[in-house]
Chains A and B, each alone.
Chain A
């Protein structure tokens, strides 16, 4: 059944589009505009980061405070948290003592509430809610890989139109199905970006320069779900996203990239060839199934609307079957 009454459709009706693929492309652009943060929200986030950075450097003048993750790459959804990392020359801020002294410092300064210190994890972090903005913050220590990844992702986004849009849709899709949490085997942000990036670079129409991705977001979104939901050989194929060499690798020759089971997603870390970025995504079976389901929903939506009358098409949404976003405009 075709959805109607999704919020991003209001005043953006595309039911008279001749090509269904163009309708979906326009709807994707409307959805992106709808969930993109407002100027006020951007300023609130920037101010929050600035305030925290200044406070932390007051406590530890010899450290550097960086942001990474979706905030640093402009790929955040409403309610996403901000990832910060503290690094220093001496590398000593990951100690248990520092974790607790920072957490009590932030509490004393009234900058943090609901503070949680997770000291025993492989990657020790402090989680809290910033008091005035209510934004969730994760602080980690002495790790530069997140900063490097953010730099790589930013360059991909500049060079690859369409990447940001498809990533945001896939992120929203997975988060509405609770398949985006790496702690329970879901697909993390960096993995999603690598999947979309590799798909776009290797696509026959895009690698030949025959089409521009931004004008073909509709068909490309369906084909993304087609590749990873129906066809991709998870058992044999690993994804490589090295600069100037986006390709597939046969897992047989890369033992480091093989997971515990043969059916596993495997993405080679561009800054560490022996690391599989997606090794935590053990629930790839459900993720693949969800992608195949998204393909069915989108294509069935297209088939139904293609035979519908213009009157029946008014106010209908194709994307609403897949992204289920109920929030207000930002």
Chain B
């Protein structure tokens, strides 16, 4: 069935909003610091780019988004972008 082949799906991250060759993981890759096993606490400066509230990042804002440019694939300012052990 050709319909199925054309459906948007990313084999890298499983998203159904972009194809594999447009996956943000292609460029959103970080070179992390060596001694990652030292203790890390949640940062105290988590602020929301959408409502300015402290405690959540803009991608997770419960209020209506004010920017009219869509953010379909998520941005750097998301709880998911914290280092793994803090997510």
Give the B-binding residues of A (Cβ under 8 A). Answer: 19-22, 24, 201-205, 207-212, 215-216, 218-219, 222-223, 226-227, 229-238, 246-251, 292, 298-299, 302-303, 306-307
Contacts and interface: CB of A to CB of B under 8 A. Distances in A.
A207 B77 CA distance: 11
Given A202-B45, A208-B82, A250-B51, A231 B27 contact: no
Contacts of A233: 49-52, 58, 65-67
Contacts of B67: 230-234
Contacts of A306: 21, 26
Interface string B28-43: 1111110010001011
Given A248-B49, A306-B26, A230 B75 contact: yes
Interface of B: 21-22, 24, 26-33, 36, 40, 42-43, 45-54, 57-59, 65-67, 69-71, 75-79, 81-83, 86
Contacts, number: 139
Given A222-B27, A226-B76, A230-B71, 14 more contacts: A20-B27, A209-B33, A218-B27, A219-B28, A227-B75, A230-B67, A231-B69, A231-B77, A232-B58, A233-B49, A248-B48, A248-B52, A250-B53, A306-B21
B74 to A, nearest CB: 10
A196 to B, nearest CB: 14
Contacts of B49: 227, 231-233, 237, 248
Contacts of B81: 204-205
Name the 10 nearest CB pairs between A and B, nearest first. A207-B43, A248-B52, A223-B76, A210-B83, A250-B52, A302-B27, A233-B66, A248-B47, A230-B69, A233-B50
A226 B59 CA distance: 12
B18 to A, nearest CB: 10
A222 B82 CA distance: 17
A236 B52 contact: yes
Contacts of B52: 233, 236-238, 248-251
Nearest to A201: B45
A237 B49 CA distance: 7
Given A21-B28, A223-B75, A209 B45 contact: no
